C-alpha cells in the first residue's frame, strides 16, 4: 500500500457516489455525503441507477462511462457486492474506489457508516493509502469460438447448477495438464477473492500484495484434490468433459450456462483497480474483525 501524508494536496476534486439499491439508510447517507462533499469544494457525480433506485433526482445523474471519464474517486455505499460491481465497471477507467459499509461482512468496505463524514474528510485531507487489486478475465470458447467474456475482481467459478450430479473438468495451466476433476465445481480466485467463496471451500487467505491466483476445487470427489497457488501470469484452460447443468459464475453472479465441450480460459486482466483506504487501515486488523480472530473463549 502507498500511504499519503497530510502535507499532500488531495486530488479528489470530482467524487462519484454509488449506492446499494433498496437498502435502508442509503438514500439519507447519500444526501448527507453529497452535501458534505460540496461544502468541501468537491464536485459530486451521482451514478444513474443509484439515483433512480434511491428516489433522487436523475437529471444530472451519470452512467458508468461518464463517471469513468470525469471522476477522481468513487465512494461506494453498500457491501462487498456493491464494491465488486463498481470495480468491474470502473477498472478500465482507472477510477479509485473507497467503500462505506452498509452491508454485512464488508471485507472491502473499510468505512463504517457511523464514521463516514470523518473518514471521507480524512481522505480529502490527504490522509489515506492506496492499494492495487488484480482482476480476472474469463472467456468461454464453444467449438473453438468465443461466445462469452467477463471480468471479475473476486473469482471465476465453474460449477454445477440445479442438478445434483458432479461436473467433470479437465484443467490445464499454461498448456500443461494438471488434473481431471470430479467435483461440485472449481474456483479461480484473486487474492481479493481468497476471503470469499474460496475461503469457504478451504482455500488459503492470500494477502492482496501477493501476485498470484488460487485454484480451489469445490467438494472434490477425490480428497487429494487440494487448492493450488499459481503465478498471476498463469493462463488456466478448463474443459467441461461432463456437465449436465453447469454454469459460469463471476463474483457470485450466475452469468452463463455451459455445455459439455466448452472451454473456460481464465487469466489476469490487463488492468487493476485501486482501493483507497482511510488513515489507520490494516489488512490484518480487518481480518481479525471480520473473521472474529483473537476473541475470548
Which residue segments constitute the domains of the chain, with CATH numbers given? 2-127+279-291 (3.40.50.10330), 135-270 (2.60.200.30)
* CA proximity to 126, closest of 38, 9, 16, 33: 9
Tell me the average confidence (pLDDT) per consecutive run of 10 residues in the chain, 297 residues long: 52 92 78 94 93 73 95 95 94 96 83 94 95 96 96 95 84 97 96 96 95 95 91 97 90 89 97 94 92 77
DSSP-based three-state secondary structure for 106: coil
Mean residue pLDDT of the chain comes to 90
pLDDT in tens, 223-237: 888 999 999 999 999
Residue 82 CB coordination number (10 Å): 27
Query: How far apart, in whole angstroms, are the C-alpha atoms of residue 262 and residue 264?
Result: 7
Three-state secondary structure call for residue 83:
helix
Catalytic residues: 80
Q: What is the pLDDT, as a whole number, of residue 121?
A: 96
* Distance in angstroms (rounded) separating the CA atoms of residues 76 and 146: 33
pLDDT at res. 59: 59
Distance of CA 294 to the CA centre of its chain: 27
Residue 149: exposure state from Cβ atoms within 10 A (0-12, 13-18, ≥19) = exposed
Amino acid at each position: 500500500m502507498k500511504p499519503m501524508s497530510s502535507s499532500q494536496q488531495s486530488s479528489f476534486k470530482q467524487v462519484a457516489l454509488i449506492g446499494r439499491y433498496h437498502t435502508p439508510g442509503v438514500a439519507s447517507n447519500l444526501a448527507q455525503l453529497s452535501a458534505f462533499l460540496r461544502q468541501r469544494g468537491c464536485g459530486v457525480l451521482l451514478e444513474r441507477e443509484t439515483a433512480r433506485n434511491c428516489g433522487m433526482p436523475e437529471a444530472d445523474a451519470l452512467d458508468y462511462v461518464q463517471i469513468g471519464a470525469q471522476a477522481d474517486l468513487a465512494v461506494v455505499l453498500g457491501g462487498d457486492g456493491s464494491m465488486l460491481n463498481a470495480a468491474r465497471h470502473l477498472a478500465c477507467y482507472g477510477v479509485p474506489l473507497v467503500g462505506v459499509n452498509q452491508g454485512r461482512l464488508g471485507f472491502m468496505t473499510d468505512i463504517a457508516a457511523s464514521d463516514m463524514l470523518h473518514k471521507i474528510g480524512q481522505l480529502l485531507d490527504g490522509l489515506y493509502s492506496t492499494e492495487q487489486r488484480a482482476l480476472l478475465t474469463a472467456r468461454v470458447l464453444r467449438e473453438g469460438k468465443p461466445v462469452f467474456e467477463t471480468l471479475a475482481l473476486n473469482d471465476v467459478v465453474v460449477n454445477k447448477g440445479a442438478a445434483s450430479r458432479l461436473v467433470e473438468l479437465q484443467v490445464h495451466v499454461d498448456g500443461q495438464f494438471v488434473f481431471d476433476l470430479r467435483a461440485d465445481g472449481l474456483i479461480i480466485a484473486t487474492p481479493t477473492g481468497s476471503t470469499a467463496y474460496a475461503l469457504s471451500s478451504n482455500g488459503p487467505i492470500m494477502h492482496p500484495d501477493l501476485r498470484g491466483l488460487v485454484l480451489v476445487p469445490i467438494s472434490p470427489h477425490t480428497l487429494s484434490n487440494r487448492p493450488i497457488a499459481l503465478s498471476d501470469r498463469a493462463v488456466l484452460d478448463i474443459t467441461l468433459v461432463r456437465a449436465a447443468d453447469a454454469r459460469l459464475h463471476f463474483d457470485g453472479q450466475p452469468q452463463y450456462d455451459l455445455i459439455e465441450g466448452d472451454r473456460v480460459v481464465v487469466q489476469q486482466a490487463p488492468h487493476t483497480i485501486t482501493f483507497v483506504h482511510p488513515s489507520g487501515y490494516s489488512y490484518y486488523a480487518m481480518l481479525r474483525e471480520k473473521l472474529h480472530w483473537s476473541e475470548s473463549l
